[in-house]
Amino acid sequence: VKSSALFHQLPPMTCPEFAFIGESNVGKSSIINLLTSSRDLAKVSKTPGKTKTLNHFLINSKWMMVDCPGYGHARVSKAERHSWHELTKEYFLGRQSLAHIFLL
């Protein structure tokens, strides 16, 4: 697992990445756990806004799932929400290894 709060902190681009994005508390982390048959790979919470970074999970040493911060009703400051938006936008536009985005 690699967590990145800034674009330059992202792991090296060594394999395809599949990102999950959606509103806060829609189930992004839960679907990653479901797809990997793990109960605690991605941290899950009932409180909106717990995922604050881009979280990369290496799967079978061949590809990565990426848990993105949610948008919408997270209980955080406007400034923090804006920083999540900017990080996600920069990741989506600038990450060459990003193969697919799943919108939940």
Tens digits of per-residue pLDDT, 70-94?
887 777 888 888 899 999 999 999 9
H or E element: which one contains 4? strand 2-4
CATH superfamily to which 2-7+15-103 belongs: P-loop containing nucleotide triphosphate hydrolases (3.40.50.300)
Tens digits of per-residue pLDDT, 6-63?
999 999 999 999 999 999 889 999 999 999 999 999 999 888 888 899 999 999 999 9
Closest CA to 64 of 103, 10, 12, 15: 15
Q: Map out the domains of the chain as residue ranges.
A: 2-7+15-103
Q: How many CB atoms lie within 10 A of CB 23?
A: 15
